[in-house]
Chains A and B, each alone.
Chain A
Amino acid sequence: MVKQVTIFLANIEGRIEKVTEVLKANRINISSLSLAESVDFGLLRLIVSDPEAAIKCLKDAGLSAKLSSVTAVKISNAPGSLHDLLTALKEFNIEYMYVLSTSDSASMIMKIRDYEAAEKVLTEKGFAVLKPEEVYL
């Protein structure tokens, strides 16, 4: 399980830039992100180098930020690898997912409500479930 930072944002100009500005000023690195949007607001989800520090500085800047738990799994850059991963998780409901790419490999970030059980299944089936220190880059 790794910690993801979720930020509730009004759909107005300059709001995401405000987030990146705060993170830059606090020297926090973003390694992956996903943006879900509705008409008036959006949820910005981030994988960062220091989630706790990110929450604190974002809140201090007046933003609505929360921590949530997601699963990070390494997959190989080859045809069928994503399919194999999803097959392993057939029993679980994946709410959303996005890609975390590091210099040598790719990983999927997945939101699964019962993430502990899912990670156990993945480990049993030989998938590399990433630890926080492998993700907070």
Chain B
Amino acid sequence: MIWNEAKECMSRDEMTHLQSARLIKLVDRVYHNVEYYRKKMQEVGLEPGDIKGIEDLTKLPYTTKDDLRETYPFGLFAVPRSQIVRVHASSGTTGKATVVGYTRRDIDMWAECVARSMTMADIGKDDTIQIAYGYGLFTGGLGAHYGAENLGATVVPMSTGNTKKLITMMEDFGVTAIACTPSYLLHVAETLEAEGMLGRIKLRRAVCGAEPWTENMRKLIEDWLHIKAHDIYGLSEVMGPGVACDCAFHSGLHVHEDHFLPEIISPATLEPVADGETGELVFTTLTKEGIPLIRYRTKDLTSITREKCECGRTSARISRFKGRSDDMLIIRGVNVFPSQVEAALLEVDETTPNYMMIVDRVNHQDTLEVQVEVEERFFDDDMRGLDALSKKIQLVLKQALGLAVKVTLVEPHTLERFEGKAKHVIDKRVLD
């Protein structure tokens, strides 16, 4: 089923026309209502009238997380505070929190986009869905919640923090869908298995997001829980979850591009790259009122296609993320993404995809240690077997990364589990 066929199946011409009309209005709005944007445009000698359609998009300056920090907390808001009905803030792990504000229409638009996304995952009004993202300043919980309500599904607002309660209610309520991070869903599967409850639940669909994950991880989740899992994408600066989602064909994530105009640029030259080429994803929020963003650099690396999908939707699709331009590690000159380690580990049967990468610098030389949990059913009263396993993982990782890796086997269930964004890297290097 398609939630909004009129918008999701528009012809390319109609879409370009709609986007152009919305972009012109947007630029006019931010120029007159946001001093920060006005100054940035004036610095490059731009006036609202210079933007006549999406073909002029590249004339506009980029916006980054630094701009949001500089204008903390409300400097980029484009409406009077009386029209803001909610604020969210993203975790300030690398600096000050970034704050976003929503008007009532923004909240409705968000719920529309999440409903479209969940419909792609074949979730509907007959489903009972547990929202297992944190409720609060993080956009995950409330964003998914309003979308699922808009859909007409029965919403169980679990939030995070109590897996036992979650699986008990999953069984008792006959829950059929869940929204959470993929790594947390694996933890839920582990817990269901440990409690012998796998055969007693009715779960059939999951929409997972808030962290990058791999195709292999999707298959693992699907096989383990006997469900279909979908990748939902979003970021709080642009809106929250539901900016894009993949349909049953899993051939990229459909962007709701009547609201979010996507571009792919080279992070090095900042020039746009051709469709199909990998680069950094950039969004312009065409309809957002509270805090509209012009050419916001997401740091997420992906590629884009505008071909019509087998599902019938014509919306642009972005490929599964290849990492973030800022969580890419450079180890001994080699670019390493945690997702590569995850994909490689999933090829080794004896391990779980729970791992921790520890990067350090010893005698001016980078070192990478990967701690891996050994699946309990594979460990035996045999030292040689464990040594062989350690060597096998080392080889698989070396082939995947092109880098010698120290592998440390650790006991099952000892690496930390994350309910929010999983943390897979500890970088101890002190760089001057």
A interface residues, Cβ below 8 angstroms from B:
4, 6, 8-10, 36, 38, 40-41, 43, 45, 62-64, 66, 68, 95, 111
B386 at the interface (CB under 8 A from A): yes
Q: How near does chain A come to B369, taking the closest CB pair, in angstroms?
A: 10
B409 in contact with A6 (CB, 8 Å)? no
Known pairs A36-B383, A64-B374, A66-B379 / 17 extra A-B pairs, C-beta < 8 Å = A4-B381, A6-B380, A8-B411, A9-B411, A10-B410, A10-B411, A10-B414, A38-B386, A43-B381, A45-B381, A62-B413, A63-B411, A64-B376, A64-B379, A64-B412, A66-B381, A68-B381
A-B contact pairs, 20 of them (CB 8 A): A8-B374, A8-B379, A9-B411, A10-B410, A10-B411, A10-B414, A38-B383, A38-B387, A40-B409, A41-B386, A41-B409, A43-B383, A43-B386, A62-B414, A64-B376, A64-B411, A64-B412, A66-B379, A66-B381, A111-B381
B355 → chain A, closest Cβ, in Å? Answer: 14
The 3 A-B residue pairs whose C-beta atoms are closest, nearest first, are A68-B381, A6-B381, A40-B408
Query: Closest Cβ of chain A: how far from B405's Cβ, in Å?
Result: 13
CA distance A74 to B387 in the complex (A): 32
Contact with A along B350-389 (1 / 0, CB 8 A): 0000000000000000000000001010011111001100
Q: Which B residues lie within 8 Å of A6 (CB)?
A: 380-381
Chain B hits for A40, CB < 8 A: 408-410
Residue of A nearest to B369 (CB): A40
CB atoms of B380 and A66 under 8 A apart: yes
Question: Which residues of B approach A to under 8 Å, CB–CB?
Answer: 374, 376, 379-383, 386-387, 408-414
- CB nearest to B376 among chain A residues: A64
Bound Cα distance A4, B383 (Å): 15
- The docked-state distance in angstroms from the alpha carbon of A40 to that of B383 is 12
Chain A residue nearest to B408 (CB atoms) is: A40
Taken together as a complex, chains A and B put the C-alpha atoms of A6 and B380 apart, in Å, by 8
The main secondary structure of chain A at its interface with chain B is strand
**Chain A residues with Cβ under 8 A from B379's Cβ?**
8, 64, 66
* Complex CA distance for A63 and B412, rounded to whole angstroms: 8
Q: Which residues of B contact A10 (CB under 8 A)?
A: 410-411, 414
Task: For the complex, give the distance between the alpha carbons of A10 and B386 in Å.
Answer: 12
A36 to B412, CA, bound (A): 19
The residue on B at minimum CB distance from A9 is: B411
Q: Within the complex, what minimum Cβ distance (angstroms) separates B360 from chain A? A: 15
Chain B, Cβ-Cβ closest to A62: B413
Chain A hits for B386, CB < 8 A: 8, 38, 41, 43
Residues of B within 8 A of A8 (CB): 374, 379, 386, 411
Instruction: Considering the complex, give the chain B residue whose CB is closest to the CB of A42.
Output: B383
Choose among B380, B381, B382, B383 the residue with the greatest number of A CB atoms under 10 Å from its CB: B381
- Residues on the B chain within 8 Å of A64, using CB: 374, 376, 379, 411-412
A92 to B382 CA separation, bound complex (whole angstroms): 17
Q: B381 — which chain A residues lie within 8 A by C-beta?
A: 4, 6, 43, 45, 66, 68, 111
C-alpha gap A68/B383 in the complex (Å): 13
Complex Cα distance, B382 from A103, in Å, reads: 30
CB distance from A51 to the nearest CB of B (A): 12
Assembled-state Cα–Cα distance A111/B384 (Å)? 14
Rounded to whole angstroms, the CA-CA distance of A45 and B411 in the bound complex is: 16
- Shortest CB-to-CB span from A3 to chain B, Å, is 11
A11 CB to closest chain B CB (Å) equals 9
A109 to B390, CA, bound (A): 28
- A10 to B414: give the CA distance in the assembly, Å: 10
